[in-house]
Chain A
Protein backbone atom coordinates (compact mmCIF):
# COMPACT_ATOMS: atom_id res chain seq x y z
CA UNK A 1 0.00 0.00 0.00
CA UNK A 2 2.81 2.42 0.93
CA UNK A 3 4.61 1.46 -2.27
CA UNK A 4 1.52 2.39 -4.31
CA UNK A 5 1.00 5.60 -2.36
CA UNK A 6 4.62 6.63 -2.90
CA UNK A 7 4.41 5.83 -6.61
CA UNK A 8 1.14 7.77 -6.87
CA UNK A 9 2.71 10.85 -5.23
CA UNK A 10 5.81 10.63 -7.44
CA UNK A 11 3.62 10.34 -10.53
CA UNK A 12 1.68 13.46 -9.48
CA UNK A 13 4.96 15.30 -8.93
CA UNK A 14 6.11 14.32 -12.43
CA UNK A 15 2.75 15.31 -13.88
CA UNK A 16 3.10 18.89 -12.71
CA UNK A 17 6.64 19.50 -13.92
CA UNK A 18 7.15 22.46 -16.20
CA UNK A 19 5.71 21.62 -19.64
CA UNK A 20 7.98 21.48 -22.71
CA UNK A 21 5.70 23.85 -24.59
CA UNK A 22 2.76 25.53 -22.91
CA UNK A 23 0.64 25.91 -26.07
CA UNK A 24 0.65 22.16 -26.82
CA UNK A 25 -0.38 21.36 -23.24
CA UNK A 26 -3.05 24.06 -23.32
CA UNK A 27 -4.62 22.39 -26.38
CA UNK A 28 -4.66 19.11 -24.46
CA UNK A 29 -6.33 20.78 -21.47
CA UNK A 30 -9.04 22.21 -23.74
CA UNK A 31 -9.58 18.83 -25.39
CA UNK A 32 -9.89 17.11 -22.02
CA UNK A 33 -12.28 19.79 -20.76
CA UNK A 34 -14.57 19.13 -23.70
CA UNK A 35 -14.30 15.39 -23.12
CA UNK A 36 -14.96 15.56 -19.37
CA UNK A 37 -17.39 18.50 -19.34
CA UNK A 38 -19.46 18.33 -22.51
CA UNK A 39 -19.12 14.56 -22.72
CA UNK A 40 -20.62 14.05 -19.27
CA UNK A 41 -23.33 16.67 -19.50
CA UNK A 42 -26.05 14.29 -20.72
CA UNK A 43 -25.70 11.69 -17.99
CA UNK A 44 -25.36 14.37 -15.29
CA UNK A 45 -28.55 16.11 -16.48
CA UNK A 46 -30.53 12.89 -16.47
CA UNK A 47 -29.43 11.62 -13.05
CA UNK A 48 -29.73 15.05 -11.43
CA UNK A 49 -33.36 15.59 -12.44
CA UNK A 50 -34.34 12.13 -11.24
CA UNK A 51 -32.40 12.32 -7.99
CA UNK A 52 -33.89 15.74 -7.18
CA UNK A 53 -37.38 14.49 -7.92
CA UNK A 54 -37.00 11.27 -5.92
CA UNK A 55 -35.41 13.10 -2.98
CA UNK A 56 -38.32 15.56 -2.82
CA UNK A 57 -40.97 12.84 -3.05
CA UNK A 58 -39.31 10.76 -0.31
CA UNK A 59 -38.81 13.72 2.02
CA UNK A 60 -42.43 14.77 1.50
CA UNK A 61 -43.54 11.22 2.28
CA UNK A 62 -41.51 11.06 5.50
CA UNK A 63 -42.74 14.46 6.71
CA UNK A 64 -46.39 13.67 6.16
CA UNK A 65 -47.57 15.18 9.45
CA UNK A 66 -49.90 18.10 10.24
CA UNK A 67 -47.31 19.35 12.75
CA UNK A 68 -44.59 19.87 10.13
CA UNK A 69 -44.94 22.67 7.56
CA UNK A 70 -44.83 21.29 4.01
CA UNK A 71 -42.20 23.80 2.97
CA UNK A 72 -39.66 21.93 5.14
CA UNK A 73 -39.52 19.24 2.43
CA UNK A 74 -38.14 21.82 -0.01
CA UNK A 75 -35.55 22.92 2.52
CA UNK A 76 -34.37 19.36 3.29
CA UNK A 77 -34.37 18.51 -0.39
CA UNK A 78 -32.28 21.62 -1.15
CA UNK A 79 -29.71 20.92 1.55
CA UNK A 80 -29.32 17.24 0.73
CA UNK A 81 -29.08 17.98 -2.99
CA UNK A 82 -26.38 20.63 -2.52
CA UNK A 83 -24.50 18.84 0.25
CA UNK A 84 -24.64 15.24 -0.85
CA UNK A 85 -26.63 14.14 -3.85
CA UNK A 86 -25.22 16.46 -6.49
CA UNK A 87 -21.51 16.38 -5.59
CA UNK A 88 -21.23 12.80 -4.39
CA UNK A 89 -23.59 10.89 -6.65
CA UNK A 90 -22.40 12.90 -9.66
CA UNK A 91 -18.82 12.06 -8.70
CA UNK A 92 -19.60 8.36 -8.38
CA UNK A 93 -21.28 8.37 -11.78
CA UNK A 94 -18.38 10.39 -13.27
CA UNK A 95 -15.89 7.93 -11.77
CA UNK A 96 -17.57 5.32 -13.94
CA UNK A 97 -17.83 7.44 -17.05
CA UNK A 98 -14.74 9.68 -16.97
CA UNK A 99 -12.51 7.59 -14.72
CA UNK A 100 -12.82 4.37 -16.68
CA UNK A 101 -12.21 6.28 -19.94
CA UNK A 102 -9.06 7.86 -18.49
CA UNK A 103 -7.68 4.59 -17.11
CA UNK A 104 -8.42 2.62 -20.26
CA UNK A 105 -7.08 5.35 -22.57
CA UNK A 106 -3.79 5.69 -20.70
CA UNK A 107 -3.59 1.92 -20.15
CA UNK A 108 -4.05 1.26 -23.86
CA UNK A 109 -1.39 3.86 -24.65
CA UNK A 110 0.93 2.04 -22.25
CA UNK A 111 0.43 -1.45 -23.69
CA UNK A 112 0.61 -0.22 -27.30
CA UNK A 113 3.91 1.58 -26.57
CA UNK A 114 2.46 5.04 -27.24
CA UNK A 115 3.75 6.21 -23.85
CA UNK A 116 7.18 4.80 -24.74
CA UNK A 117 6.99 6.76 -27.99
CA UNK A 118 6.34 9.97 -26.02
CA UNK A 119 9.29 9.27 -23.73
CA UNK A 120 11.61 8.52 -26.64
CA UNK A 121 10.74 11.92 -28.10
CA UNK A 122 11.76 13.53 -24.80
CA UNK A 123 8.21 14.35 -23.74
CA UNK A 124 7.36 14.16 -20.03
CA UNK A 125 4.61 11.57 -20.53
CA UNK A 126 2.91 12.00 -17.11
CA UNK A 127 2.84 15.76 -17.65
CA UNK A 128 1.44 15.49 -21.14
CA UNK A 129 -1.11 12.79 -20.39
CA UNK A 130 -2.12 13.24 -16.76
CA UNK A 131 -1.85 16.94 -15.90
CA UNK A 132 -4.42 18.06 -18.53
CA UNK A 133 -6.85 15.41 -17.26
CA UNK A 134 -6.46 16.51 -13.65
CA UNK A 135 -6.85 20.19 -14.59
CA UNK A 136 -9.97 19.38 -16.59
CA UNK A 137 -11.30 17.26 -13.70
CA UNK A 138 -10.89 19.92 -11.03
CA UNK A 139 -12.38 22.60 -13.28
CA UNK A 140 -15.18 20.78 -15.12
CA UNK A 141 -16.51 18.52 -12.36
CA UNK A 142 -17.38 21.52 -10.13
CA UNK A 143 -19.16 23.09 -13.11
CA UNK A 144 -21.04 19.86 -13.73
CA UNK A 145 -21.94 19.83 -10.03
CA UNK A 146 -23.39 23.36 -10.30
CA UNK A 147 -25.53 22.18 -13.22
CA UNK A 148 -26.45 19.08 -11.25
CA UNK A 149 -27.59 21.16 -8.26
CA UNK A 150 -29.73 23.40 -10.47
CA UNK A 151 -31.29 20.45 -12.27
CA UNK A 152 -31.74 18.52 -9.01
CA UNK A 153 -33.70 21.38 -7.50
CA UNK A 154 -35.60 21.69 -10.79
CA UNK A 155 -36.34 17.96 -10.62
CA UNK A 156 -37.76 18.45 -7.14
CA UNK A 157 -40.02 21.19 -8.47
CA UNK A 158 -41.18 18.93 -11.28
CA UNK A 159 -41.98 16.20 -8.76
CA UNK A 160 -44.12 18.69 -6.83
CA UNK A 161 -45.95 19.73 -10.00
CA UNK A 162 -46.54 16.14 -11.08
CA UNK A 163 -47.31 14.38 -7.77
CA UNK A 164 -48.78 17.28 -5.77
CA UNK A 165 -47.45 15.65 -2.55
CA UNK A 166 -46.49 19.22 -1.68
CA UNK A 167 -47.45 22.28 -3.64
CA UNK A 168 -44.83 23.96 -5.88
CA UNK A 169 -45.30 27.14 -3.83
CA UNK A 170 -44.43 25.30 -0.59
CA UNK A 171 -41.41 23.75 -2.30
CA UNK A 172 -40.16 27.15 -3.53
CA UNK A 173 -40.77 28.58 -0.06
CA UNK A 174 -38.71 25.72 1.42
CA UNK A 175 -35.84 26.33 -1.00
CA UNK A 176 -35.60 29.92 0.24
CA UNK A 177 -35.92 29.22 3.97
CA UNK A 178 -32.92 29.14 6.32
CA UNK A 179 -30.24 29.11 3.67
CA UNK A 180 -26.73 28.72 5.09
CA UNK A 181 -24.00 29.59 2.54
CA UNK A 182 -21.60 27.06 4.09
CA UNK A 183 -23.39 24.27 2.20
CA UNK A 184 -22.32 25.86 -1.09
CA UNK A 185 -18.72 26.00 0.15
CA UNK A 186 -18.88 22.34 1.18
CA UNK A 187 -20.36 21.42 -2.19
CA UNK A 188 -17.60 23.32 -4.03
CA UNK A 189 -14.81 21.77 -1.94
CA UNK A 190 -16.26 18.30 -2.42
CA UNK A 191 -16.58 18.64 -6.18
CA UNK A 192 -13.01 19.92 -6.58
CA UNK A 193 -11.58 17.14 -4.39
CA UNK A 194 -13.71 14.51 -6.14
CA UNK A 195 -12.57 15.82 -9.54
CA UNK A 196 -8.96 15.44 -8.46
CA UNK A 197 -9.53 11.95 -7.06
CA UNK A 198 -11.34 10.63 -10.15
CA UNK A 199 -8.77 11.88 -12.65
CA UNK A 200 -5.58 11.23 -10.68
CA UNK A 201 -6.46 7.78 -9.30
CA UNK A 202 -7.71 6.49 -12.65
CA UNK A 203 -4.74 8.01 -14.50
CA UNK A 204 -2.37 6.35 -12.01
CA UNK A 205 -4.00 2.97 -12.57
CA UNK A 206 -3.85 3.39 -16.33
CA UNK A 207 -0.27 4.64 -16.37
CA UNK A 208 1.13 1.58 -14.62
CA UNK A 209 -0.77 -0.98 -16.68
CA UNK A 210 1.33 -3.95 -17.77
CA UNK A 211 0.29 -6.64 -20.20
CA UNK A 212 -2.48 -6.45 -22.77
CA UNK A 213 -6.20 -5.90 -23.29
CA UNK A 214 -7.18 -7.93 -20.22
CA UNK A 215 -4.95 -5.85 -17.94
CA UNK A 216 -6.27 -2.60 -19.46
CA UNK A 217 -9.78 -3.68 -18.45
CA UNK A 218 -8.56 -4.62 -14.99
CA UNK A 219 -6.83 -1.25 -14.60
CA UNK A 220 -10.00 0.58 -15.58
CA UNK A 221 -12.05 -1.44 -13.11
CA UNK A 222 -9.48 -0.93 -10.35
CA UNK A 223 -9.33 2.79 -11.08
CA UNK A 224 -13.10 3.16 -10.80
CA UNK A 225 -13.35 1.06 -7.63
CA UNK A 226 -10.48 2.86 -5.87
CA UNK A 227 -11.72 6.29 -6.87
CA UNK A 228 -15.27 5.45 -5.65
CA UNK A 229 -13.90 4.32 -2.28
CA UNK A 230 -11.70 7.41 -2.01
CA UNK A 231 -14.63 9.67 -2.97
CA UNK A 232 -16.73 8.22 -0.15
CA UNK A 233 -13.85 8.55 2.30
CA UNK A 234 -13.17 12.15 1.22
CA UNK A 235 -16.91 12.86 1.46
CA UNK A 236 -16.86 11.77 5.09
CA UNK A 237 -13.71 13.75 5.88
CA UNK A 238 -14.89 16.97 4.21
CA UNK A 239 -18.34 16.76 5.79
CA UNK A 240 -16.92 16.14 9.26
CA UNK A 241 -14.35 18.95 8.92
CA UNK A 242 -16.48 21.67 7.31
CA UNK A 243 -19.92 21.12 8.82
Chain B
Protein backbone atom coordinates (compact mmCIF):
# COMPACT_ATOMS: atom_id res chain seq x y z
CA UNK B 1 0.00 0.00 0.00
CA UNK B 2 1.08 3.56 -0.64
CA UNK B 3 0.58 6.12 2.09
CA UNK B 4 1.55 9.79 2.11
CA UNK B 5 1.87 11.66 5.38
CA UNK B 6 1.78 15.43 5.79
CA UNK B 7 3.39 16.25 2.45
CA UNK B 8 4.52 19.82 1.93
CA UNK B 9 6.31 21.04 -1.16
CA UNK B 10 7.72 24.51 -1.65
CA UNK B 11 9.40 26.02 -4.71
CA UNK B 12 11.14 29.19 -3.51
CA UNK B 13 8.41 31.19 -1.77
CA UNK B 14 5.63 29.30 -3.50
CA UNK B 15 4.07 26.64 -1.30
CA UNK B 16 2.56 24.22 -3.81
CA UNK B 17 1.50 21.39 -1.50
CA UNK B 18 0.22 21.97 2.01
CA UNK B 19 -0.09 19.14 4.49
CA UNK B 20 -1.47 16.39 2.26
CA UNK B 21 -2.03 12.98 3.77
CA UNK B 22 -3.76 10.05 2.09
CA UNK B 23 -3.79 6.30 1.67
CA UNK B 24 -4.08 4.84 -1.82
CA UNK B 25 -6.27 1.75 -2.10
CA UNK B 26 -4.34 -1.35 -3.20
CA UNK B 27 -5.54 -2.93 -6.44
CA UNK B 28 -7.78 0.04 -7.25
CA UNK B 29 -7.74 3.17 -9.38
CA UNK B 30 -6.86 6.10 -7.16
CA UNK B 31 -7.49 9.42 -8.86
CA UNK B 32 -5.99 12.75 -7.88
CA UNK B 33 -8.13 15.48 -9.37
CA UNK B 34 -8.09 19.24 -9.25
CA UNK B 35 -7.85 22.34 -11.39
CA UNK B 36 -4.74 23.56 -13.19
CA UNK B 37 -2.10 24.63 -10.69
CA UNK B 38 -3.72 22.79 -7.80
CA UNK B 39 -0.58 20.68 -7.24
CA UNK B 40 -1.71 17.32 -8.70
CA UNK B 41 1.37 16.63 -10.81
CA UNK B 42 3.70 17.96 -8.09
CA UNK B 43 2.10 15.55 -5.62
CA UNK B 44 2.53 12.67 -8.07
CA UNK B 45 6.19 13.60 -8.60
CA UNK B 46 6.71 13.75 -4.83
CA UNK B 47 5.23 10.27 -4.47
CA UNK B 48 7.46 8.70 -7.13
CA UNK B 49 10.56 10.58 -5.97
CA UNK B 50 11.03 12.94 -8.92
CA UNK B 51 10.57 15.80 -6.44
CA UNK B 52 11.67 15.60 -2.83
CA UNK B 53 8.91 16.77 -0.48
CA UNK B 54 9.91 19.76 1.66
CA UNK B 55 8.27 17.98 4.60
CA UNK B 56 6.39 14.74 5.09
CA UNK B 57 6.90 11.17 4.01
CA UNK B 58 5.86 8.69 1.33
CA UNK B 59 5.49 5.10 2.49
CA UNK B 60 5.56 2.13 0.10
CA UNK B 61 4.48 -1.06 1.88
CA UNK B 62 5.74 0.23 5.23
CA UNK B 63 9.08 1.50 3.82
CA UNK B 64 9.76 5.22 4.06
CA UNK B 65 10.65 6.09 0.47
CA UNK B 66 11.53 9.71 1.27
CA UNK B 67 14.42 8.77 3.56
CA UNK B 68 16.03 6.37 1.09
CA UNK B 69 19.01 7.19 -1.12
CA UNK B 70 19.07 6.42 -4.85
CA UNK B 71 20.38 2.86 -4.47
CA UNK B 72 17.91 2.00 -1.72
CA UNK B 73 15.05 3.22 -3.91
CA UNK B 74 15.96 1.01 -6.88
CA UNK B 75 14.13 -2.15 -5.66
CA UNK B 76 10.95 -0.12 -5.12
CA UNK B 77 11.38 1.69 -8.42
CA UNK B 78 11.55 -1.58 -10.32
CA UNK B 79 8.04 -2.21 -8.95
CA UNK B 80 6.82 1.13 -10.28
CA UNK B 81 5.49 1.76 -13.76
CA UNK B 82 4.71 5.26 -14.92
CA UNK B 83 2.89 6.72 -17.86
CA UNK B 84 3.84 10.35 -18.43
CA UNK B 85 1.64 13.10 -19.81
CA UNK B 86 3.56 13.13 -23.11
CA UNK B 87 4.36 9.41 -22.90
CA UNK B 88 8.12 10.16 -22.56
CA UNK B 89 9.12 7.38 -24.94
CA UNK B 90 12.81 7.32 -25.82
CA UNK B 91 13.00 8.93 -29.27
CA UNK B 92 16.12 7.08 -30.33
CA UNK B 93 14.60 3.65 -29.67
CA UNK B 94 11.94 1.65 -31.47
CA UNK B 95 8.72 0.66 -29.74
CA UNK B 96 10.19 -2.76 -29.00
CA UNK B 97 13.43 -1.30 -27.62
CA UNK B 98 11.46 1.10 -25.43
CA UNK B 99 9.53 -1.78 -23.87
CA UNK B 100 12.58 -4.00 -23.52
CA UNK B 101 14.70 -1.22 -22.00
CA UNK B 102 13.84 -1.84 -18.31
CA UNK B 103 14.00 -5.59 -18.93
CA UNK B 104 17.52 -5.22 -20.35
CA UNK B 105 18.67 -3.27 -17.31
CA UNK B 106 17.01 -5.03 -14.44
CA UNK B 107 16.42 -8.65 -15.45
CA UNK B 108 18.63 -11.55 -16.43
CA UNK B 109 16.16 -12.84 -19.02
CA UNK B 110 17.42 -14.06 -22.39
CA UNK B 111 16.78 -11.93 -25.46
CA UNK B 112 14.05 -14.34 -26.59
CA UNK B 113 12.29 -14.08 -23.24
CA UNK B 114 12.51 -10.29 -23.25
CA UNK B 115 11.16 -10.18 -26.80
CA UNK B 116 8.33 -12.48 -25.80
CA UNK B 117 7.46 -10.19 -22.89
CA UNK B 118 7.62 -7.10 -25.14
CA UNK B 119 5.32 -8.77 -27.67
CA UNK B 120 2.93 -9.78 -24.91
CA UNK B 121 2.81 -6.19 -23.59
CA UNK B 122 2.26 -4.84 -27.10
CA UNK B 123 -0.56 -7.31 -27.72
CA UNK B 124 -2.07 -6.34 -24.40
CA UNK B 125 -2.33 -2.72 -25.53
CA UNK B 126 -3.53 -3.70 -29.03
CA UNK B 127 -0.33 -2.72 -30.81
CA UNK B 128 0.89 -6.12 -31.94
CA UNK B 129 3.27 -5.88 -34.88
CA UNK B 130 4.27 -2.26 -34.24
CA UNK B 131 7.62 -3.35 -32.77
CA UNK B 132 9.90 -1.64 -35.25
CA UNK B 133 8.19 1.75 -35.38
CA UNK B 134 9.82 4.79 -33.78
CA UNK B 135 7.87 7.10 -31.45
CA UNK B 136 7.83 9.81 -34.14
CA UNK B 137 5.83 7.42 -36.34
CA UNK B 138 3.06 6.92 -33.76
CA UNK B 139 -0.15 8.86 -33.10
CA UNK B 140 -0.80 10.40 -29.66
CA UNK B 141 -3.04 7.51 -28.60
CA UNK B 142 -0.53 4.91 -29.80
CA UNK B 143 2.26 6.66 -27.87
CA UNK B 144 0.14 6.46 -24.71
CA UNK B 145 -0.44 2.76 -25.30
CA UNK B 146 3.27 2.11 -25.87
CA UNK B 147 3.92 4.09 -22.68
CA UNK B 148 1.51 1.78 -20.86
CA UNK B 149 3.16 -1.28 -22.42
CA UNK B 150 6.56 -0.05 -21.20
CA UNK B 151 5.13 0.71 -17.76
CA UNK B 152 3.74 -2.82 -17.35
CA UNK B 153 6.72 -4.63 -18.88
CA UNK B 154 8.29 -5.19 -15.44
CA UNK B 155 4.96 -6.39 -13.99
CA UNK B 156 4.73 -3.44 -11.59
CA UNK B 157 2.91 -3.37 -8.26
CA UNK B 158 2.25 0.33 -8.64
CA UNK B 159 1.22 2.24 -11.74
CA UNK B 160 1.39 6.03 -11.82
CA UNK B 161 -0.32 7.87 -14.62
CA UNK B 162 -0.05 11.60 -15.30
CA UNK B 163 -2.92 13.08 -17.32
CA UNK B 164 -3.58 9.97 -19.44
CA UNK B 165 -6.17 11.69 -21.62
CA UNK B 166 -4.50 14.99 -22.37
CA UNK B 167 -4.42 15.70 -26.08
CA UNK B 168 -6.60 12.70 -26.98
CA UNK B 169 -10.01 12.63 -28.62
CA UNK B 170 -12.86 11.47 -26.35
CA UNK B 171 -13.07 7.99 -27.89
CA UNK B 172 -9.34 7.30 -27.56
CA UNK B 173 -9.41 8.77 -24.05
CA UNK B 174 -12.07 6.24 -23.04
CA UNK B 175 -10.02 3.43 -24.60
CA UNK B 176 -6.98 4.48 -22.55
CA UNK B 177 -9.07 4.71 -19.36
CA UNK B 178 -10.55 1.26 -20.01
CA UNK B 179 -7.10 -0.17 -20.66
CA UNK B 180 -5.71 1.25 -17.42
CA UNK B 181 -8.76 -0.04 -15.54
CA UNK B 182 -8.42 -3.52 -17.04
CA UNK B 183 -4.73 -3.71 -16.20
CA UNK B 184 -5.37 -2.52 -12.65
CA UNK B 185 -7.95 -5.26 -12.11
CA UNK B 186 -6.11 -7.97 -14.06
CA UNK B 187 -2.75 -7.58 -12.29
CA UNK B 188 -4.06 -6.18 -8.99
CA UNK B 189 -1.97 -3.04 -9.46
CA UNK B 190 -2.28 -0.01 -7.19
CA UNK B 191 -2.88 2.70 -9.76
CA UNK B 192 -2.58 6.42 -9.06
CA UNK B 193 -3.91 8.65 -11.82
CA UNK B 194 -3.63 12.42 -12.00
CA UNK B 195 -6.38 13.87 -14.13
CA UNK B 196 -8.87 16.67 -14.55
CA UNK B 197 -10.99 14.66 -16.96
CA UNK B 198 -14.40 14.09 -15.41
CA UNK B 199 -15.08 11.17 -17.76
CA UNK B 200 -12.15 9.36 -16.13
CA UNK B 201 -13.37 10.27 -12.68
CA UNK B 202 -16.88 8.98 -13.32
CA UNK B 203 -15.67 5.96 -15.30
CA UNK B 204 -12.80 4.53 -13.27
CA UNK B 205 -12.48 6.58 -10.07
CA UNK B 206 -12.59 3.93 -7.33
CA UNK B 207 -11.00 6.38 -4.93
CA UNK B 208 -10.81 10.09 -5.64
CA UNK B 209 -8.75 12.78 -3.93
CA UNK B 210 -9.62 16.37 -4.78
CA UNK B 211 -6.88 18.98 -4.47
CA UNK B 212 -7.52 22.68 -4.43
CA UNK B 213 -4.90 25.36 -3.87
CA UNK B 214 -2.33 22.75 -2.81
CA UNK B 215 -4.55 21.24 -0.10
CA UNK B 216 -6.64 18.08 0.06
CA UNK B 217 -10.24 19.26 0.07
CA UNK B 218 -12.17 16.07 -0.41
CA UNK B 219 -11.71 12.30 -0.58
CA UNK B 220 -14.20 9.60 -1.54
CA UNK B 221 -15.45 7.46 -4.42
CA UNK B 222 -16.78 8.64 -7.77
CA UNK B 223 -20.26 7.64 -6.67
CA UNK B 224 -20.11 10.05 -3.77
CA UNK B 225 -18.99 13.01 -5.88
CA UNK B 226 -22.43 13.77 -7.28
CA UNK B 227 -23.89 14.08 -3.80
CA UNK B 228 -21.18 16.03 -2.06
CA UNK B 229 -21.89 19.40 -0.52
CA UNK B 230 -18.26 20.49 -0.84
CA UNK B 231 -18.62 23.75 -2.76
CA UNK B 232 -15.12 23.79 -4.31
CA UNK B 233 -15.51 20.21 -5.53
CA UNK B 234 -18.94 20.97 -6.95
CA UNK B 235 -17.57 24.01 -8.73
CA UNK B 236 -14.82 21.88 -10.25
CA UNK B 237 -16.85 18.80 -11.14
CA UNK B 238 -19.88 20.57 -12.49
CA UNK B 239 -18.07 23.39 -14.26
CA UNK B 240 -19.08 22.13 -17.71
CA UNK B 241 -22.63 22.37 -19.06
CA UNK B 242 -22.47 18.68 -19.89
CA UNK B 243 -21.82 17.74 -16.27
CA UNK B 244 -24.50 20.18 -15.09
CA UNK B 245 -27.00 18.48 -17.39
CA UNK B 246 -25.88 15.07 -16.13
CA UNK B 247 -26.35 16.21 -12.54
CA UNK B 248 -29.83 17.52 -13.30
CA UNK B 249 -30.81 14.06 -14.54
CA UNK B 250 -29.61 12.39 -11.33
Contacts and interface: CB of A to CB of B under 8 A. Distances in A.
Interface of A: 20-21, 23-24, 108-109, 112-114, 116-117, 119-124
A121 B86 contact: no
B78 A113 contact: no
Contact of A117 (B78, B88, B104, B154): B88
Interface of B: 45, 48-50, 70, 73-75, 77-78, 80, 82, 84-86, 88-91, 101-102, 104-106, 154, 160
A113 B84 contact: yes
Contacts, number: 57
Given A21-B105, A117-B82, A120-B80, A112 B70 contact: no
A186 B49 CA distance: 46
B104 A21 contact: yes
B40 to A, nearest CB: 15
A113 B102 contact: no
A20 to B, nearest CB: 5
Contact of A20 (B73, B80, B105): B105
Contact of B50 (A112, A119, A123): A119
Contacts of B50: 116, 119-120
B86 A112 contact: yes
A109 B86 CA distance: 12
Nearest to B73: A122
A121 B88 contact: no
A108 B88 CA distance: 11
Given A112-B86, A113-B86, A121 B105 contact: yes
A114 B105 contact: no
A145 B105 CA distance: 34
Point out which of A20, A21, A114 has the most chain B C-beta atoms below 10 A from its C-beta.
A114
